[in-house]
Amino acid sequence: MECARLQIEMEAKARRAFKREFDSIKSVTIERMRAEGEWNPGVFKLPEHHGYKRMAIVLEKEKRYGDALKVIREARRKGWNGDWDKREERIEKRLAKTK
């Protein structure tokens, strides 16, 4: 859980690094596509963040459903790719059963 927490703390730096790399690759790709007449602007999309995913899994297993939902919603809000909708739906069902 500590490793997941540390990954989450570093997420802003990782997000910026992924964006820089995407922009760098995108500029080369755009030039190539323009030269070939196939230019189509890409959309930046972050990969899955394993720290958020691991934290959500651990919190769910500990039956800390409210905390797990906060982690999932934060990851989604910050743009990290993942199965957040599916996880959120499952946890909300479990949370409803506890009430």
Write out pLDDT tens, residues 47-66. Answer: 899 999 999 999 999 999 99
49's tokens? 């963040």
Cα–Cα dist 86/3, whole Å: 24
Cα–Cα dist 72/76, whole Å: 6
Amino acid at 6: L
Cα–Cα dist 16/10, whole Å: 10
Q: Which residues is 81 bridged to in the sheet?
A: 48
Q: Is residue 87 exposed (0-12), middle (13-18) or buried (19+ Cβ within 10 Å)?
A: buried
Q: Is the predicted pLDDT of residue 27 greater than 70, yes or no?
A: no
pLDDT at 24: 73
Specify the higher pLDDT residue, 21 or 60.
60
